[in-house]
């Protein structure tokens, strides 16, 4: 059983997002470690980009600060490796945009992510129709590991690295069926239209939306965008397999004078709400 499958043994899972390099690199590593050891079941590890189209103002500001402080893809990979050295065993999914990955070199990016201990990728601006090259490189890496048994054993502790697909309320039925049927790891279900950011209430149609997706897949369905409080997380957790909390997590921790302590309290509060 790989790390992602293992994470979903007890549902609903808590999946916070936090960008590496914010408010600085060392603090972000401490924060992610603290989230992992105080209730998070899986973490979206943010890779900063100058034009994050899917993100709202809170995450945009955080990633801009991270870039100004000098965060790079290479430093982010080293940070993931450091988290593994510190004993973080939950899945770490790299969440970022496609341009920095292209600039780094796709083959090198995937290789280095595996070596660092990442468990998968979320790329908001890489739709399924354009993901063929990236997916083929993931598949090629899997073949290479099977050929090299020692290397394969080392990396297979984290399982194969899935490219997590995103679905939205506006996804047509045919597209939703195609993405859900071929999904690996889990599905990232965007609960509302628009960019990331906490909302005042959960969408009334969320239960129906989740059911539409589940008709086409057996992989877990996790809901993100708009979840800002433990109470909202509890509501979503009754419907979905996982709850993704991004902007509220970044705002709470980044706005604190003691971000690591804030991360500890944040994870514990949301974990308690989810049961």
Distance CA 68, CA 21 (A): 9
DSSP codes, 11-62: SSEEEEEEETTSS-HHHHHHHHHHHHTTT-SSEEEEPP-S--TT--HHHHHH
Q: Catalytic: 55?
A: yes
Angle of CA points 271, 224, 116, to nearest 5° = 75
β-strand partners of 17: 44
Strand (E) or helix (H) holding 188: strand 187-190
Per annotation, catalytic residue among 44, 112, 119, 241: 44
**Cα within 13 Å of Cα(16), Cβ side:** 32
Q: Catalytic: 112?
A: no
Q: Is 242 helix (H, G, I), strand (E, B) or coil?
A: strand
Per annotation, catalytic residue among 30, 33, 51, 55: 55
Catalytic machinery residues: 44, 55
């Amino acid at each position: 059983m790989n790390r992602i499958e293992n994470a979903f043994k007890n549902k609903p899972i808590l999946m916070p997002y936090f960008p590496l390099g914010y408010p600085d690199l060392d603090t972000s590593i401490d924060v992610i470690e603290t989230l992992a050891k105080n209730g998070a079941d899986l973490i979206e590890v943010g890779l900063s980009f100058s034009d994050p189209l899917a993100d709202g103002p809170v995450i945009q500001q955080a990633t801009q600060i991270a870039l100004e402080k000098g965060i790079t893809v290479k430093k982010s990979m080293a940070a993931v490796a450091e988290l593994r050295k510190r004993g973080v065993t939950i899945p770490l999914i790299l969440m970022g945009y496609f341009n920095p990955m292209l600039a780094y070199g796709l083959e090198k990016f995937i290789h280095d992510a595996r070596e660092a201990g990442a468990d998968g990728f979320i790329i908001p601006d890489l739709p399924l129709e354009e993901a063929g090259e990236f997916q083929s490189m993931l598949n090629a890496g899997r073949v290479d590991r099977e050929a090299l048994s020692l290397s394969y054993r080392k990396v297979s502790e984290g399982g194969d690295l899935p490219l997590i697909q995103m679905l939205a309320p506006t996804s047509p039925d045919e597209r939703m069926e195609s993405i859900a049927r071929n999904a690996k790891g889990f599905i990232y279900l965007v609960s509302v239209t628009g960019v990331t950011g906490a909302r005042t209430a959960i969408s009334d149609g969320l239960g129906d939306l989740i059911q539409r997706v589940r008709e086409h897949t057996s992989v877990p369905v996790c809901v993100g965008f708009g979840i800002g409080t433990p109470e909202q997380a509890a509501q979503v957790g009754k419907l979905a397999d996982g709850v993704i909390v991004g902007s509220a997590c970044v705002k709470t921790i980044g706005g604190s004078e003691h971000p690591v302590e804030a991360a500890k309290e944040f994870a514990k509060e949301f974990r308690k709400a989810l049961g």
